[in-house]
């Protein structure tokens, strides 16, 4: 039975009768129309923007079964479960099906009973499935999370590359690629890898008005995280992103000690552990997931009230996608990015040392620098991040940290000279801890051991406290005047950038930390 598929239904009708929504949102209608006409389409919308309906609706309107390629089993199962509840005949074909489920699925497939089939890319290209599909009418082929084709992206999946061949296998079926990754390079990659040069491209605004952005220098990580969770999590969920597996375990344990329900998620968990965690996360209980970026695609709990980054992401694209997991229900949600100067210096250093091809390194460096600039901006943070994606927000958002509390700036010329001299005079061998001790004239063990108290710079910054000097050091790192000089956290000068600052030739506007303002 091909049921509703034979009755060329109107998209709006399907939207209302099956999905229960009164109208399309934003670019959905145009994207749906393009596919209805049989054109290829590329849809770029932020997470939560409503990409799924862009292919689900035309798949149900057009004749034939819709094929959806999706990279994650959890994601597929979710979508299928949701669709089934709406009465849509949907199924997912992937490696974790039980034997009997698999038999039933093939049965449905052979007898033409499915409206929508979700499949992983590596499954799709098996001869047996291709064979069956070629004998079917397909309404469309949707390629979800299409940025996975791009080697520039942060979620590259080699098996997505193989999707280049679907054009040959199904030349007459319209294709619709969807992603929340906004940069133009990824966009171009998707179009060329999938041979979709003629596709209509739909780019939604990435501005999410319900996301309140905030970034703070890391001063007391634990206190800052707990404070943010207490303020913003409410009865919803929270995601805390960390840079490493070990850290996720440690932070989760720490939060549990403080009374939160906190679980760690990272790529090292077994599939069973992952599923169990996802189930709990989706159950709706107030829960904090402390995760690496492996916790990502398919996280569609609507009431994630806050996303916190304990380590600076490598690019604005990744960052925006991660914070995009907050507030999918449209309610006010907060994001907090904690960052530190040493981590910036380290990220730059390792990129410099990397064996990656020069062209790739330059792209990654560009992204890292945009990310660093984003943390230290004194202007509207929402404008700054949207600008990374080529989107100009005409006026400041009015609700990010910088809009609410414009950071005070001061002339840091003299402070910069003192710090840079201290770095230079101490032989570019020490990290921020020793440098601040030298500046403040503190007789610490390393100061004594290396006889740093005999230097002329010892005590030139007695008038200021430890955290104040750290703030200056951090901003000089962000400006590129100070960099990591070795693997052990020692800081050195970046000669070209530091020289005019040392000579006092350029103004050095520095930002007074707003860290403890909220
Ligand atoms: P994405 O895949 O872009 O992250 P989804 O397709 O999951 O986003 O949609 C996000 C949420 O918005 C879902 O809860 C969905 O039901 C809802 N939604 C999408 N389109 C509409 C619409 N036209 N009207 C009302 N709600 C919608
Ligand atoms: Zn703003």
Could you tell me if the CB of 29 is within 6 A of ligand 1?
no
- In this structure, the chain runs to a length of 518
Pick the closest to residue 33 from 183, 147, 140 (CA basis): 140
Calculate Rg over the CA atoms of the chain.
Answer: 26
Distance CA 262, CA 380 (A): 32
352 Cβ contact list (under 8 Å, min separation 6): none
Alpha helices (H) in 48-180, listed in sequence order: 51-61, 73-85, 99-110, 121-124, 127-134, 158-161, 166-169
Q: Whose CA is nearest to atom 25 of ligand 1?
A: 21
Indicate which ligand has the atom closest to the C-alpha of 49: 1
**What value, to the nearest 5°, has the Cα angle with vertex 174 and ends 14 and 153?**
100
**Is the minimum distance from the CB of 56 to ligand 1 under 6 angstroms?**
no
Report which of 492, 510, 489, 507 is spatially closest to residue 422, judged by C-alpha positions. 492
Nearest CA, atom 2, ligand 1: 51
**How would you list the strands of the sheet with 262-265, edge to edge?**
211-217, 333-339, 304-309, 237-241, 288-291, 262-265
- Dist. CA 168–CA 141, nearest whole Å: 13
Find where tokens 């094929």 sit. Answer: 67
Ligand 1 proximity of 46 Cβ (cutoff 6 Å)? no
Q: pLDDT tens string for the chain (518 positions)? A: 344 444 568 999 999 999 999 999 999 999 999 999 999 999 999 877 899 999 999 999 999 999 999 988 878 888 899 999 999 999 999 888 889 999 999 999 999 999 999 999 989 989 999 999 998 899 999 999 999 998 776 677 888 888 999 999 999 999 999 998 867 888 899 999 999 999 999 999 889 999 999 999 998 999 999 999 999 999 999 999 999 999 999 999 999 999 999 999 998 999 899 889 988 998 999 999 999 988 876 677 899 999 999 999 998 988 998 999 999 888 999 999 999 998 999 999 998 898 888 877 887 888 899 999 999 999 999 999 998 887 889 899 999 999 999 999 999 999 999 999 999 999 999 999 999 999 999 999 999 999 999 999 999 999 999 989 999 999 999 899 999 987 788 999 999 999 999 999 999 999 987 553 43
The whole-angstrom separation of Cα 115 and Cα 91 is 9
Is the CB of 21 within 6 Å of ligand 1?
Answer: yes
Ligand 1 pocket check for 301: Cβ under 6 Å: no
Separation of 379 CA from ligand 2 center, angstroms?
7
pTM: 0.77
- Do 40 and 198 touch, CB atoms closer than 8 A? yes
For the record, the structure tokens of 25 come out as 């949102």
CB 181 less than 6 A from any atom of ligand 1: no
Task: Among 16, 28, 52, 327, say which to mutate for ligand 1: greatest number of ligand atoms within 8 Å of CB.
Answer: 52
**Ligand 1 near 48 CB (within 6 A):** yes
Kindly give the distance from the C-alpha atom of residue 75 to the centroid of ligand 1, in angstroms, as a whole number.
14
Query: Tokens 């994650």 map to which residue?
Result: 72
Ligand 1 binding pocket mutation candidate from 13, 23, 53 (most atoms within 8 A of CB): 53
Spatial distance between the Cα atoms of 173 and 276, rounded to a whole number of angstroms: 37
- CB 329 less than 6 A from any atom of ligand 1: no
**Ligand 1 site, residue 50, Cβ cutoff 6 A:** yes
């Amino acid at each position: 039975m091909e049921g509703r598929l034979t009755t060329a239904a109107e998209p709006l009708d399907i939207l209302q009768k099956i999905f229960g929504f009164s109208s399309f949102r934003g670019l959905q209608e145009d994207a749906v129309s393009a596919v209805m006409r049989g054109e290829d389409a590329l849809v770029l919308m932020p997470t939560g923007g409503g990409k799924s309906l862009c292919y689900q609706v035309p798949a149900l309107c057009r004749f034939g079964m819709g094929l959806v390629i999706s990279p994650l089993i959890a994601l597929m199962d979710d979508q299928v479960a949701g669709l089934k509840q709406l009465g849509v005949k949907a199924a997912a074909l992937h490696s974790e099906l039980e034997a009997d489920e698999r038999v039933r699925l093939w049965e449905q497939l052979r007898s033409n009973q499915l409206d929508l089939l979700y499949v992983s890319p590596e499954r799709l290209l098996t001869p047996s499935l291709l064979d069956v599909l070629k004998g079917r009418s397909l309404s469309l082929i949707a390629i979800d999370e299409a940025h996975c084709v791009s080697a520039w992206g942060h979620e590259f999946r080699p098996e997505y590359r193989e999707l280049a061949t679907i054009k040959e296998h199904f030349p007459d079926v319209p294709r619709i690629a969807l992603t929340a990754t906004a940069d133009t390079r990824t966009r171009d990659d998707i179009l060329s890898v999938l041979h979709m040069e003629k596709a209509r491209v739909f780019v939604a605004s990435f501005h999410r008005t319900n996301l309140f952005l905030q970034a703070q220098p890391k001063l007391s990580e634990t206190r800052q995280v707990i404070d943010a969770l207490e303020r913003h999590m409410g009865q919803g969920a929270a995601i805390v992103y960390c840079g490493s597996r070990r850290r996720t375990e440690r932070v989760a344990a720490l939060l549990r000690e403080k009374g939160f329900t906190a679980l760690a998620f990272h790529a090292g968990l077994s599939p069973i552990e992952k599923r169990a965690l996802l189930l709990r996360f989706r159950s709706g209980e107030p829960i904090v997931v402390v995760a690496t970026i492996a916790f990502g695609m398919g996280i569609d709990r609507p009431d994630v009230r806050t996303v916190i980054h304990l380590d600076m992401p490598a690019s604005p694209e990744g960052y925006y996608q991660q914070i995009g997991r907050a507030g999918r229900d449209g309610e006010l949600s907060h994001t907090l990015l904690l960052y530190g100067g040493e981590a910036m210096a380290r990220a730059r250093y390792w990129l410099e040392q990397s064996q990656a091809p020069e062209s790739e390194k330059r792209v990654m460096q560009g992204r890292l620098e945009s990310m660093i600039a984003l943390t230290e901006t004194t202007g509207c943070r929402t404008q700054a991040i949207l600008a990374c994606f080529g989107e100009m927000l005409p006026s400041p958002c009015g609700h990010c940290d910088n809009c609410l509390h414009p950071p005070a700036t001061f002339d840091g010329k003299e402070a910069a000279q003192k710090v840079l001299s201290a770095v230079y005079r101490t032989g570019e061998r020490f990290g921020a801890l020793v440098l601040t001790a030298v500046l403040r004239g503190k007789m610490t063990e390393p100061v004594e051991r290396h006889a740093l108290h005999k230097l002329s710079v010892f005590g030139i910054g007695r008038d200021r406290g430890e955290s104040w000097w750290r703030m200056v050091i951090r901003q000089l790192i962000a400006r590129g005047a100070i960099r990591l000089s070795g693997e052990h956290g020692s800081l050195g000068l970046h000669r070209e950038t530091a020289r005019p600052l040392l000579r006092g030739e350029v103004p050095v506007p520095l930002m007074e930390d707003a860290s403890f303002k909220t």
